[in-house]
Chains A and B, each alone.
Chain A
Amino acid sequence: MTIKPILSVKNLSVTFPDNNGGLDALGELSFEIRPREFICFLGPSGSGKTTLLRALAGLVQPSTGSVNFMYHHHEPKIGMVFQQSNLMPWRTVMENIQLSMELDGAGEVKAQNKAREMVKLMGLKGFENSFPRDLSGGMAQRVAIARALIHDPDLLLLDEPFASLDALTRERMWTELSNIWQEKKKTVVMVTHSINESLFLADRVMVLTKRPGRIKMDVEVDLPRPRPDDIRYTSHFGKLAKKLRAAIE
């Protein structure tokens, strides 16, 4: 059975103007994403990963091609998590999480209830009224994820969200994100340069070439879920990792 995609990208390229005829960040990319799929884009630095994500978020205009969401009724709601937590320092944890509800004009009571739910889900209890300056990197990134999820986005975009965390925290966050994804069943597009991260989390990994980024390889990750911590020591994980490693320039 073929499932209809919720997002289809056709011949997408992005060129940034410079004094030298323009910098091609993305070559012509085409791909489709099915609902509730967890996609990872894997590539070296400078492969235009972030540019791709920004194009999906509508923050960058495509130079050619198109990004089409298969919704007829409404503009897609997007939740985005950045490399840095990107919290508003003047807002408490609760207020940061509520931001998108506020922008949507939701009532305060509703927003607070929803935010409390997210606080529980992300393990932020006790930090509701803290300001970002008092949070550790991992905690701040949890708030950022909560903020991206609270308005039930159609598409969750993750831009190397764990890159700034230490190794232990990062691995704990993988498990947490994986659990949340299984609970919430969101469509997720994540970019990363960590092979382990992509295999641990994704249904499908696409490897990008160096600039201008094109899709070099599209791999289904057929590892069973839920994926325990030690799955990375299995031979199948190793085989997939090797394959991806070989594809990255």
Chain B
Amino acid sequence: MKPKTLQSLSRWLGILSILLAIPLWYLVVQISGLPKFILPSPVDVWTRFLKALQDGSLLYHAGITLVEILLGLVAGVSFATIVGYAVAKSRPLEIALSPYLVASQAIPIVAIAPLLVIWLGDGILSKLVICALIVFFPVLVNTVVGVRAVPPALYDLMRSLRATRWQILFKLELPASLPVLLGGLRIGATLSVIGAIVGELVDAEQGLGFLLQLGDFQYDTSMVFVAVFMLIALALSLYGVVTLLEKKFLKWQK
């Protein structure tokens, strides 16, 4: 009984701290007297949010960014999982690929994002590739770790039962490395949001990054706030989806 009350109390505490932050923000605006284009009040942001919602621009741009994030995530995760599996299985491949893998991690994505936009245009494709690239490395590392951590004794079991390669992949390696794979997806999901925004800030005609930059240019700071909050909401929802997946597939774990 007691831990349960404590748990619900701490949940309320989280909501309470957010609720307290809004009046505090309001107070700061009132006392400092900063103009709206430097620090808009919560009311300004809320009004701007409703307006952007009504004229459809917010959902349109958020939709574009979400598509970039999801496609980039799918592309990055699939590619990283396949390469990661191959690297985990083959020592020579690991040695041959590791300079590229380390280098790809060492180059800040912000530095090559402009290049990708030049090469691939200012549409969805360049953002998708940036997302995929930023997601690639952490997912790859997790895949390698996950596949290598499959207990050798379970391989013996499968081989004693004359399991085929595909059976070993789908009935042993995949489920055994799933906790680590989903851990990689969790990191990838948040990184993918960053990738999409980086790409859009370089050059874009649509998306939340575009909206953010537009607000910036027009001194419509409330719009910038709306775009930022929308991004946070996207990132949290993605994180939530991964958490749901973990709950569904990893219920055997404590």
Residues in B neighbouring A84, C-beta threshold 8 A: 153
Give A75-134 interface residues, CB cut-off 8 Å to B: 75, 78, 80, 82, 84, 86, 88-91, 99-100, 102-103, 131, 133
Please determine whether B156 and A89 come into contact, CB atoms closer than 8 angstroms: no
A58 close to chain B: CB less than 8 A: yes
In the bound complex, residues from chain B placing their C-beta under 8 Å from that of A54 are 156
Contact between A90 and B176, CB atoms less than 8 A apart: yes
| B156: nearest chain-A partner, CB-CB | A59
Tell me whether A80 and B157 are in contact (CB under 8 A). yes
Counting from the closest, the 10 A-B pairs by CB-CB distance are A80-B160, A57-B160, A90-B252, A131-B252, A90-B175, A100-B161, A86-B153, A103-B163, A103-B161, A78-B160
Number of A-B pairs, beta carbon distance below 8 Å: 53
Are B252 and A103 in contact (CB-based, < 8 A)? no
Q: Which residues of A contact B153 (CB under 8 A)?
A: 82, 84, 86
Chain A residues 39 to 96 lying within 8 A of chain B, measured CB to CB, are 54, 57-59, 75, 78, 80, 82, 84, 86, 88-91
A131 to B251, CA, bound (A): 10
A99 to B154, CA, bound (A): 12
Query: Which residues of chain A are within 8 angstroms of B156 by Cβ–Cβ distance?
Result: 54, 57, 59, 80, 82, 86
**Total chain A interface residues with beta-carbon distance under 8 A:** 22
Question: Is the CB–CB distance between A86 and B154 below 8 Å?
Answer: yes
Please report B residues at the A interface, Cβ cutoff 8 Å. 151, 153-154, 156-163, 167, 171-172, 175-176, 178, 250, 252-254
Partner of B159, one of A58, A75, A99, A133: A58
Given the complex, which residues of B lie within 8 Å of A90, measured CB to CB? 175-176, 178, 250, 252
Q: Which residues of A contact B159 (CB under 8 A)?
A: 57-59
Q: How far is the CB of B188 from chain A (nearest CB, A)?
A: 22
> Measured between alpha carbons, how far is A82 from B171 in the docked complex, in Å?
19
20 contacts between A and B (CB under 8 A): A59-B156, A59-B160, A78-B162, A80-B156, A80-B157, A82-B156, A86-B153, A88-B172, A89-B252, A89-B253, A90-B178, A90-B252, A91-B252, A99-B171, A102-B171, A103-B158, A103-B161, A103-B171, A131-B252, A133-B254
B70, chain A: closest CB distance, angstroms: 27
Chain A residues in 8 Å Cβ range of B151: 86
- Name the distance in Å between B176's Cβ and chain A's nearest Cβ: 7
**In the docked arrangement, what's the CA distance between A91 and B246, Å?**
15
A88 to B162, CA, bound (A): 17
